[in-house]
Structure 1
Amino acid sequence: MQGYKLENIDCFCFQYTRCDTGQCKFQHRQSCKESSEICLDWFRHRRCRNQMCSRKHLNHEVMLAYFLCRAEKTENHCKQLNCLMYHEKARQFIEYGTIPPNSVPMVPAVRRRKMVDCVKREVPQVQNFIKSGNHFLKMVRPFIAKSVRERKLSQDKGKAYFKEILHTVLFYGSINWPSIEPEEMLEQREFQLLSSKYPDVFQQYNTHLPTRPPYTVLLDVVVEIMGRNEEEKVLKCLLSLTEQMVLPLTDDKSSKVGNVFVSTVINYCYFWDSDIKNEKTDNYFGASVSCKGRQQRQIMIDILCCQTWHKHISLAVCIGNMYKNQAVWFPPEVHSLAFNIIFNEESPPAPSATPDNQHVLTVVGSAGVQEPNSLEISRTPRQRASLIPRVPCERCLDMFPNINYHPNPEYHGHPYWEHGNCAECESLSQLLYANQLLAMRLQFYVQRTILSSPTEQIHLPHGLIGRKLRRLEDNLRSLGFNVGLFSFYDPSGIESTALERFQH
């Protein structure tokens, strides 16, 4: 399995019964036999150097992959009373009754760091997170309220959009390490105002999961205001808003834009239906997953896969992530354009001064792909944001190999992020949701070795989605989130009037 070394995984048989394998490739440690908890270092970093560690190097995902009983896997039931392997299901015997499933080590209840507020705020990463959330909300709220005031958004939609953004920002604070409470992120007056106007957000930010990152919601707002087929207006508006959210870097590990809630890649796609209607679909936009921290980013990607994205996009992400294998082939003439948001101290260059080694924005009109034009929001010195067209990364080519990418994928670097982080996933998901006939034309190419291998049998798509759910639960538990039955926040719930002060 990805990231796990066999010699650092505990032998399930040795830990719970006995190991009869002569040369077992897993480790046999007596020090953790009595433990029912997972080692946090091993769980988070896939390794633990402490040979006398008192907690197990086992979790549900590893037990399924390496120790699941073969009879239970192939025949759905094990008839061997003294079977030493892992059993996820109860076993029925006439003489001995029911033998319950094997227990699974759990992540220990994490005690959050109790830090004095002033000390906590002095940590550069925490300070940057607090400033980012506060500034993001301060920029978004008047923009939405102004759009409602000008009747570009309905009042109900404006409230729902802002509540969704606010909930996700507060949720990110609750899963941050160390956790950041709403009253720490928001200024006192803002906290009192918003908590009184949006009580459901403050009651559910640490019990209900969001369904998408806050920057993706902001992108959706801009697209609704500007129109799907006004791609230049959408990108210019989004670029202007993004520039207002830029913060000075507080440390070397901070985001390049200084704001951890801002995405750095924007994408839009469309389908040219030359076979049936001979017309172009609307444009569908997406942003990369903006989330600080490895576990936090995994949580957001798993939520998107399990709850938000079209099932075919989720399947492609799961197969790409687990097996680095091509899975989904789109019909011809699906086009995808991605852009990096670049921040400079100087204004973007004029179109004639564009460096030879940089691409420029390709504008798509009603007649297809037209001549390239550059996109800038301003040439004044105080404006520092520009869009640079971006070739697809290796992850996108894994998941969606036959899409018409602009620019063409002549080169790409090896990415450090996992499948599902890219903006292409969101935009292609929206394309499939809006065009069901296109979704029905997708083809799936999955290697037979994935579907049935000597060590495991994968049922698509539920088996892979089940793994995402288990990783989501494990990560949430390890960060101290209140995990019960997964509930997702609904921003259209309780009535509130927090935007009213901007509407007069």
Structure 2
Amino acid sequence: MMQGYKLENIDCFNFQYNHCSKRPCKFQHRQSCKDSSEICLDWFRHRKCRNKVCPRKHLNHEVMVAYFLCLAEKTANHCLQLTCPMYHAKARQFIEHGIIPPDPVPTVSKVKRKKMVHFVQCENPQVQTVVKSGFQLLDKARSFFANSVREGKLTQDRGRSYFKEILHTILFCGNINDPAIEPNLFFTKKELEVLSAKYPDVFRDYNTHLPTRPPFTVLLDAVVEVLQTRKADEVLKLLLHLTEQMVLELPDAKSNKCGNIFVSTAISYCYFWNLHITNEKTDNYFGASVSCRGRQQKEIMIDILCCKTWHQGISLAVCIGNWYKNQCLLFPEAMYSMAYNITFSKESPSEAGTASNNQHEHAVVRSGDVQNTDGPENNSTVKQRAYLKPRAPCERCLSMFPNVIYHPRPEHCEHPYWEYGNCAECESLSQLLYANPQIAMRLGYFVQRTILYSPTKQVHLPNDLILRKHRRLIENLKSLGFNVGDHLSFYDPSGADSTALEVFQS
């Protein structure tokens, strides 16, 4: 079953467009939406709709490919049956009947959302969490960047670029939130005037251009650059120190969560040990889990990463896992990966820390061991200590990357509720492949033959699967009222129409 979808809430494609002879059929047979060409937004956003006579279809391209795609098109790349009742994503050509175009796919019409009334702005807890989370991350990250620039650890351009990217991504996440959150809610009037004057391209492009990665991933990359080292203990210590300053006050005092929705819940790093040729270890490469809230919002960010950001091998593994539940990517022998959950406690546990594979290195992490880089006033606001709890890979990662050597090793397969691509391992492995093309050239693919090949020619992958991600991305953006335009545009933080990086006061 596809993630989040229930068969009894999916319209039967055959019933909607042809004739279904199955009795009983596990899918819905609804007459009320036969004439509709639009997708039900409630069903699309929440994977369910309670209206049994809903006038719009509970179908999209993703579901049609997963459940109704013609077997001949899937295996042989074409269908020769003129009256085939199944879904065809490709045109069919017949000598006597000419070209038959692909079957119709319901579309998501662009939504115009009303602006939030003052009551919603003030009282909606979900909106408050997004606003507080965004401001907290921006405030602490900007202070970190500005101090790093002053200390000569970052250039002015790099510090400004990092901050602009985080600012743009948070404003973008506010824009695709439901209800939409305008930039003025994240800042006071004075702060908004200062920021919009200093970074006009960010405020111009947040509702027309897409980000390329989550905000916490940007911060993690900045930490590595500031430290000028890839030693796991140093990177993770500083990251935890910064994370402590972004904790939101939660109603449950016993909670061990950060509360900030833009702070990743998991961190990982990986490396390759060339045991057979050079006996040398690569650098460590770090990644964070996808940090945003909401099913559609998380799908959007994962699809952006697959279509734009991640290494092609990682994107392919995510796509095949997502749609076929298959193993995919085989790394060269001796690829290591360590992952940790970020948790919080009023007192740091005596055994708090992280340990990598004991054959190679050992990293102990306590956030309190980090020298304060943001000024003495920030420590007084920290109410909880952050530490890392080693975590075994989930079922998704074991499926996508089956021969990676994980630490700790899983005692049992955790069945996750999140989508393929959400885990931190995807980002860290992607960075390793980009930095080491000789390793990327040695990747193997362990995929069912029917997915990759037809009897006559090779199916174009990953392009065909990435195209599905691209289509779902556009559908999700439109359903949330984002200004997609004629094509997808991505924000470039290196633009020159911004001024110096300075710290604003909360």
For normalisation by structure 1, the TM-score amounts to 0.87
Q: Which amino acid aligns with 2:493?
A: P
Structure 1 residue 118 displacement after superposition: 3.9
Partner of 2:149: 148
Question: Residues 176, 255 of structure 1: CA spacing in aligned structure 2 closer, same or farther, 3 A cutoff?
Answer: farther
Q: Which of 360, 363, 374 pairs up with 1:369?
A: 360
Is 1:348 the equivalent of 2:341? no
Alignment-derived partner of residue 286 in structure 1: 287
Q: Is 1:225–2:216 an aligned residue pair?
A: no
Call closer, same or farther: CA 1:12–1:24 in 2, change over 3 Å.
Answer: farther
Structure 1 residue 36, shift from structure 2 partner: 1.9
Give 1:429 shift: 0.6
SS in 1 for 2:343: strand
Deviation at 1:70, TM superposition (A): 6.3
Hey, what does 1:417 align to over in structure 2?
418
Distance 1:232 1:497, change over 3 A: same
Structure 1 residues 371 and 10: CA distance shift in structure 2, 3 A: closer
Equivalent residue, structure 1, for 2:37 = 36
| Alpha-carbon distance change, 383 to 257 in structure 1, aligned in 2, over 3 angstroms | closer
2:499 counterpart of 1:497: yes
Conserved? CA contact 2:200–2:497, under 8 Å: no
Q: Decide whether the 8 Å contact of 1:136 with 1:245 is kept in 2.
A: yes
Which residue number corresponds to residue 466 of structure 1? 467
Q: Which moved more, 1:162-171 or 1:65-74?
A: 65-74
Match runs of 1:58-137 below 5 Å: 58-68=59-69, 74=76, 76=78, 80=82, 86-89=87-90, 101-137=102-138
What's the offset of the Cα at 1:60?
Answer: 2.0
Shift of 1:431: 0.6
The one of 482, 485, 488 aligned to 1:486 = 488
How many Å separate the matches in 1 of 2:98 and 2:323?
38
Q: Which amino acid aligns with 2:293?
A: K
Distance 1:361 1:496 in 2: 40
Residue 156 of structure 1: CA displacement?
A: 1.3
1:79 to 1:325, Cα distance in 2 relative to 1, 3 A: closer
Q: CA deviation at 1:101?
A: 4.5
Could you list the per-position Cα deviations for residues 413-458 of structure 1 after superposition, in whole angstroms to 9, with x for gaps in the alignment?
32221221111111111111111111112221112354479xxx97
Identical amino acids, percent of aligned pairs: 64
Residue 295 of structure 1 corresponds to: 296
The answer to whether the 8 A contact 1:124-1:251 is kept is no
Matched residues in 1 for 2:123 and 2:252: separation? 12
CA distance in 2 between counterparts of 1:389 and 1:70 reads 43
Residue 331 (1) aligns with residue 332 (2): yes
Report the Cα offset of residue 94 of structure 1: 8.4
1:361 touches 1:389 (CA, 8 Å); kept in 2? yes
Q: Which residue of 1 aligns with 2:317?
A: 316
Task: State which drifts further: 416-425 or 170-179.
Answer: 416-425
Identify the range of structure 1 (97-106 vs 190-199) with the bigger mean alpha-carbon deviation: 97-106
Shift of 1:104: 2.3
Cα separation, 2, equivalents of 1:60 and 1:45? 16
1:137-168 superposed Cα distances (whole Å, 9 cap, x missing partner) = 11111211111121111111111111111100
Amino acid at match of 1:162: F
Give the match for residue 239 of structure 1: 240
Alignment match, 1:57: 58
Unaligned runs of 5+ in 2: 371-378
* Counterpart Cα distance in 1 of 2:325 and 2:96: 47
Q: Secondary structure at the match of 1:272?
A: strand
List per-residue Cα deviations over 1:186-210 (Å, max 9, x = no partner): 2211111111111111111111111
Which residue is 2:261 aligned to? Answer: 260
The amino acid of 1:130's aligned partner reads V
Distance 1:344 1:444, change over 3 A: same
Any conservation in 2 of the 1:198–1:498 contact (CA below 8 Å)?
no
The CA deviation string for residues 357-391 of structure 1, in whole angstroms up to 9 with x for no partner, is xx8422679xx624564534259995511122222
Deviating more after overlay: 219-228 vs 254-263: 254-263
Give the conservation status (yes or no) of the 8 Å contact 1:197–1:496: yes
Displacement of 1:311: 0.8
1-side partners of 2:329 and 2:113: how far apart? 42
Which sections of structure 1, spanning at least 5 residues, go unmatched?
none
Which sits farther off after the overlay, 388-397 or 280-289? 388-397
Farther-moved stretch of structure 1 (379-388 vs 179-188): 379-388
In the TM superposition, residue 466 of structure 1 has moved relative to its aligned partner by 1.8
Distance 1:98 1:311, change over 3 A: closer
| Paired AA for residue 369 in structure 1 | H
The SS at the match of 1:270 is: strand
Give the superposition deviation at 1:297.
0.8
TM-superposed deviation, 1:106: 1.5
Q: RMSD of the TM alignment (CA)?
A: 3.0
Q: Secondary structure at the match of 1:136?
A: helix
Query: For 1:286 and 1:426, how far apart are their aligned partners in 2?
Result: 5
In structure 2, C-alpha distance between the alignment counterparts of 1:325 and 1:95, rounded to whole Å = 39
Shift of 1:304: 0.8
**1:307: how far off?**
0.9
Amino acid at match of 2:497: E
Contact 1:160 1:492 in 2 (8 A): yes
Q: Give how far 1:214 is off.
A: 0.3
The residue that corresponds to 2:19 in the other structure is 19
